A = this chain, B = another copy of it.
């Protein structure tokens, strides 16, 4: 209950502007009660982040390597689609993850990094699997994973700016993945320059 209210408050006012007063007022409990359940403002934000991480990571299913090329592609698309769905539907979460939780302190930065690291790890493993199966091009899978992750983050971040738009998450995910999968350029349109073709060894 208090956690849910804190989520709303943090999302609306931001971590620093949100006071413990705002949270307990929103939750309808006394100040003391707050400290009965949480070690402090920072601690409740920590817990909140943990729950958001768990919620998001639950949206991501491990890709089944035996599903064949098209199956793998579909599963990745579904993963991205589910994450998009969840975040586009809940601006609270998106705002907290992309804005309020950023740059608060070293501890939280590391926590965020670990979260994104886990997600990037999942993507990276899928890419490696794809490479082993000959589906994914021989690019640096670490970089590939960061790119996919960053692309998703930026599109979501962009959605925070337009408050009234309820974007079509599925279409957006499809458009995004199409670019990630096939690239921006028509095949054969540009010559493969020496430096541009290879992946990081």
A-side residues, CB < 8 A to B, are 14-17, 69-70, 72-74, 77, 98-105, 109-110, 113, 116-117, 120, 127, 130, 134-137, 139-140, 143-144, 146-155, 157-158, 161, 171-172, 174-187, 189-191, 193, 195-200
Q: Which residue of B lies closest to A201 (CB)?
A: B171
CA distance A181 to B136 in the complex (A): 14
- Asked if B184 contacts A196 (CB within 8 A), the reply is no
Q: Which of B102, B184, B193 contacts A102 (CB 8 A)?
A: B102
A136-B185 contact, Cβ under 8 Å, with A73-B193, A109-B99 = yes
How far, in angstroms, from A54 to B154 measured CA to CA in the complex?
21
CB neighbours (8 Å) of A148 from chain B are 184
Given A136-B184, A150-B153, A102 contacting B105 (CB threshold 8 A) = no
- Give the number of copies in the complex: 4
Are B154 and A146 in contact, CB atoms less than 8 angstroms apart? yes
Q: How many angstroms from the CA of A24 to the CA of B175 in the assembled complex?
A: 49
Question: Which residues does chain B contribute within 8 Å of A196, judged by CB atoms?
Answer: 73, 77, 174, 177-178, 181
Residues of chain B lying within 8 A (CB to CB) of residue A16? 16, 104
Please report the C-alpha to C-alpha distance between residue A189 and residue B101 in the assembled complex, in whole angstroms: 39
- Other 10 A-B pairs with CB < 8 A, given A16-B16, A17-B105: A99-B109, A134-B186, A135-B185, A143-B175, A143-B176, A147-B151, A153-B154, A178-B196, A180-B183, A181-B184
| Chain B residue nearest to A192 in the complex (CB) | B182
